[in-house]
Amino acid sequence: MAKRTFSMLETFLIFLLVMMTAVTVALLSILFITSGTIENHKDSGFPDTQSSPATQSSPTTQSSLATQSSPTTQSSLATLGSTTTEGSTVTNGSTATQAPSVMSTPEPPLFQNFSGYHIGVGRADCTGQVADINLMGYSKTGQNARGILTRLYSRAFVMAEPDGLNRVVFVSVDIGMVSQRLRLEVLNRLQSKYGSLYRRDNVILSGTHTHSGPAGFFQYTVFVIASEGFSNRTFEYMVTGIVKSIEMAHKNMKPGKIFINKGIVEGAQINRSPSSYLQNPESERARYSSNTDKEMVVLRMEDLNGAELGLISWFAIHPVSMNNSNHLVNSDNMGYASYLFEQEKNKGYLPGQGPYVAAFASSNLGDVSPNILGPHCVNTGESCDNANSSCPIGGPSMCVATGPGEDMLHSTQIIGRILYQRAKELYASASQEVTGPLAAAHQWVNMTDVTVQLNSTHTAKTCKPALGYSFAAGTIDGFGGLNFTQGTTVGDPFWDTLRDQILGKPSEEIKECHKPKPILLHTGELTKPHPWHPDIVDVQIITIGSLAITAIPGEFTTMSGRRLREAVQTEFATHGMQNMTIVISGLCNVYTHYITTFEEYQAQRYEAASTIYGPHTLSAYIQLFRGLAKAIATDTVANLSRGPEPPFFKQLIASLIPNIVDRAPIGKTFGDVLQPAKPTYRVGEVAEVTFVGANPKNSAENQTHQTFLTVEKYEAASATWQIVHNDASWETRFYWHKGLVGHSNTTIQWHIPDTAQPGIYRIRYFGHNRKQEFLKPAVTLPFESTSAAFEVVTS
Ligand SMILES: [Zn+2]
């Protein structure tokens, strides 16, 4: 056989092949060692199932830690996180979060010899309806959604111990508050998908408290009324978004580290009930330099290679920079801070996209306003910073606090940027690593019936829910509408009679219990069509090493938060857990309005009138949270009673606004341009196009598009249109103008930033119209439209 000789080219190719193989093997080894991709864990046992981490075959093997179990047993998967949690005292029936009865020993994750946690982050859209629904927060009739300024997101963080045994989930959602119904449904779906991996005790859902998100996701009658009905469309959208964010976090878990930092934020908040704060004992106030909590707590999350994963920040401030004249759905100042942070970390991505997740979560914001210029009489300009927030001329309706900006959008940006800047500094210098075990404790409590041990000889009780007169007054951030005044301690015969006629008389027992609150609505005694307020609430703590997150089912005032933090910290210390950092996480799990101190309660401003379980509500919570802290510290969580399960009501009252078909003017169709863009704009101007519209609520049940609009730039080199903005961008506004019998217009604005590149642009509109043919079910049909191209010039 003739000897085969290789050409130069062949020799080179063989060499290249050998080198590439070597490099590939080396890279795979490095990846295997450093990332600890647990998805590959099973592969070590089953070489024939080799797959990339992105390849997931079934829900049960969907990801990282979830796949630690043997692939054949769903139940072993479920046991991964259940060690410290479900109580042995469980006696009642099936629940949304009950653990499966079959338990097996979980296999440890492959990669577990490191200090830190498996960390996953996820963000998903949860905007819901942006039309034909009230905005949640100000309870102002007629303040309904008519478009969108920014999208709302659910931001989820999953953390697990290196051995994969214990895990906790923290979710911050751009909504007014988490409702009980929302929470129960989310837990239900998590259970369906993950067994008992994610449960009532180790999942916290917290609302940012934006007052510019849609309402309609509640089951208790007070909130159904404030929402003007229940919206299944919005509810579904939110549940889906929250669950999706958790799924994303679950899927992309990787070994990493958490660093904590704290610092003071100046110039972002004022106390909106300073006279109430002054009711607290002088000796107590003397310990603090301010009547608001100025400390921001920041968590920095990164993987073992130092690649940044996410941020959680907690800070006490009401997201009410956008006032009650706003009609565009948006995430307010806290959402703007998230937006800036994520835009910076997700370079090259549109808002709402990219792997990095930054949550700005709520805290003890009950009496904290971002409208730092304070309350003034809008008619005379005088200060109305008094105990009744009332003006000499015009009364309380004239007393309004304003923010630092020229208008509410500007104020939102200023406050949001302050939060973002400070978080950025604290994040950059965060060097204290959080280490130690994860734990979780949770109870359902009947808050109408808690006996509080005031001291060694005296006890007190919580009350059935009731709202006081000053609840109807609203606040300096949003007046209530009728002529009610904050600080009212005596009822009014006119309103009392009206209430008695319509709703019946409150019992002597409830009146006595709530004193000195004059009861306007005895919600705890109203049960038609469903109870007006919750009896059963969640109390919950999760701990991440030396950090304890207390999940508060409402809005604590500044001093309430301080008392709870101190009491919980002391409780931990008493039982051997020294120097714990306690964070108040606000608006969690179920909404119960406000919680003031006993002393603040006496002044009966808005926050006190909205402390629905009576004067001892805070003391009850302190007692309950101390119980949870003790259980964690003494490793006796399993002995905690589970408590009574909250109800899940059927047949809620739906919105009275009918779903009607959309109609275009004769000779036109949906998306036709009615008012074109100008041919040319300068940077700093506003490009605007008006289209034949359709009700955007159709799009909340038909997610063929993730955005109502795009702004696109023509790239000559590639002859393509590149998307530069979507409807989550702060620069864009989507206004929906409702006309008669199904007719509507849509106006899209692009506030062209000074940084915009000169060039050719266009605006696109994506919608859904509702159509119904005779004797057929209604359908929603997607449509889209594009403006004529226009030019942007810099001067
Ligand atoms: Zn509030």
- How far apart CA 184 and CA 585 sit, in angstroms, is 19
Mean pLDDT of 753-758: 96
What's the pLDDT tens digit per position in 587-620?
999 999 999 999 999 999 999 999 999 999 999 9
CATH number at residue 769: 2.60.40.2300
Q: Is the domain of 679 the same as that of 627?
A: no
User: Which is catalytic among the residues 82, 362, 369, 560?
Assistant: 369
pLDDT of residue 108: 57
DSSP β-ladder status, 167-173 and 203-207: parallel
Q: Quick check: 450 pLDDT over 90?
A: yes
Of 521 and 89, more confident: 521
Residue type, 528: K
Mean pLDDT of 779-792: 96
Contacts of residue 264, Cβ cutoff 8 Å, sequence gap at least 6:
294, 295, 296
Structure tokens at 49: 């199932």
Of 385 and 597, more confident: 597
Q: Is the domain of 622 the same as that of 683?
A: no
- How far apart CA 313 and CA 362 sit, in angstroms, is 9
Mean pLDDT of 630-655: 95
Q: Are 127 and 151 in contact (CB under 8 A)?
A: yes
Mean pLDDT of 316-339: 97
In a domain, 44, yes or no: no
Mean pLDDT of 74-86: 32
Q: Is the domain of 627 the same as that of 757?
A: no
Q: Is the domain of 610 the same as that of 739?
A: no
Q: Which domain holds residue 188?
A: 117-464+503-639
Q: Is the domain of 377 the same as that of 255?
A: yes
**Range name among 79-93, 270-284, 338-352, 353-367 with the lowest pLDDT average:** 79-93
In a domain, 75, yes or no: no
Q: Is the domain of 308 the same as that of 188?
A: yes
In a domain, 733, yes or no: yes
Q: Quick check: 1 pLDDT over 90?
A: no
pLDDT of residue 700: 87
Within the chain, what is the greatest distance between any pair of CA atoms? 116
Ligand 1 geometric centre to CA of 318 (Å) = 6
In a domain, 261, yes or no: yes
Q: Say what the alpha-carbon torsion angle 216, 221, 223, 226 is, to the nearest 10 degrees.
A: 90
Q: Is the domain of 633 the same as that of 732?
A: no
Q: Quick check: 238 pLDDT over 60?
A: yes
Ligand 1 geometric centre to CA of 55 (Å) = 43
| Domain finish residue from 593, 615, 639 | 639
Ligand 1 geometric centre to CA of 167 (Å) = 30
pLDDT band at 93 (very low <50, low <70, confident <90, very high): very low
Ligand 1 geometric centre to CA of 555 (Å) = 6
pLDDT of residue 197: 95
Mean pLDDT of 84-106: 35
Q: Is residue 172 annotated as a catalytic residue, yes or no?
A: no
Of 60 and 568, more confident: 568
Q: Quick check: 143 pLDDT over 60?
A: yes
Ligand 1 geometric centre to CA of 369 (Å) = 9
Q: Is the domain of 635 the same as that of 683?
A: no
Q: What share of the chain is helix, strand, coil (3-state, %, to 5)?
A: 30, 25, 45
Ligand 1 geometric centre to CA of 365 (Å) = 7
Ligand 1 geometric centre to CA of 68 (Å) = 42
pLDDT band at 533 (very low <50, low <70, confident <90, very high): very high
Q: Is the domain of 599 the same as that of 728?
A: no
Mean pLDDT of 711-738: 97
What's the pLDDT tens digit per position in 275-302?
999 999 999 999 999 999 999 999 999 9
Ligand 1 geometric centre to CA of 26 (Å) = 55
Mean pLDDT of 59-83: 33
Ligand 1 geometric centre to CA of 587 (Å) = 9
pTM, two decimals, is: 0.87
**Range name among 161-165, 215-219, 310-314, 581-585 with the lowest pLDDT average:** 161-165
Ligand 1 geometric centre to CA of 340 (Å) = 24
Ligand 1 geometric centre to CA of 353 (Å) = 29
In a domain, 483, yes or no: no
| Domain finish residue from 614, 639, 664 | 639
Ligand 1 geometric centre to CA of 366 (Å) = 6
Q: Quick check: 746 pLDDT over 80?
A: yes
- How far apart CA 581 and CA 297 sit, in angstroms, is 9
Asked if residue 555 belongs to a known ligand binding site, the reply is yes
Q: Is the domain of 615 the same as that of 702?
A: no
Ligand 1 geometric centre to CA of 702 (Å) = 31
In a domain, 19, yes or no: no
- How far apart CA 393 and CA 382 sit, in angstroms, is 10
pLDDT of residue 795: 76
pLDDT of residue 30: 35
Q: Quick check: 83 pLDDT over 50?
A: no
What's the pLDDT tens digit per position in 49-67?
233 333 233 333 333 333 3
Percent of the chain clearing pLDDT 70 (strictly above)? 86
In a domain, 374, yes or no: yes
Q: Is the domain of 382 the same as that of 259?
A: yes
Nearest to 109 by CA among 170, 42, 57: 42
Kindly report the length of the chain.
795
pLDDT band at 40 (very low <50, low <70, confident <90, very high): very low
Asked if residue 433 belongs to a known ligand binding site, the reply is no
In a domain, 251, yes or no: yes
Strands (DSSP E) contained in 191-253 are 203-207, 213-214
Structure tokens at 653: 């009252």
- Give the chain's mean pLDDT: 87
DSSP β-ladder status, 308-314 and 357-361: parallel
- How far apart CA 362 and CA 207 sit, in angstroms, is 7
Asked if residue 220 belongs to a known ligand binding site, the reply is no
Ligand 1 geometric centre to CA of 736 (Å) = 27
- What is the helix (H) or strand (E) element at residue 474, kind and residue range? strand 474-475
Nearest to 559 by CA among 364, 744, 344: 364
What's the pLDDT tens digit per position in 643-696?
999 999 998 998 888 899 999 999 999 999 999 999 999 999 999 999 999 999
Q: Is the domain of 715 the same as that of 624?
A: no
| Domain finish residue from 617, 639, 661 | 639
pLDDT of residue 103: 38
pLDDT of residue 7: 53
Q: Which residues line ion ligand 1, judged by CB < 5 Å?
A: 555
Ligand 1 geometric centre to CA of 179 (Å) = 14
pLDDT band at 516 (very low <50, low <70, confident <90, very high): very high
Ligand 1 geometric centre to CA of 696 (Å) = 28
pLDDT of residue 704: 63
Domains identified in the chain, total number: 2
- How far apart CA 493 and CA 86 sit, in angstroms, is 50
Asked if residue 318 belongs to a known ligand binding site, the reply is yes
Q: Quick check: 150 pLDDT over 50?
A: yes
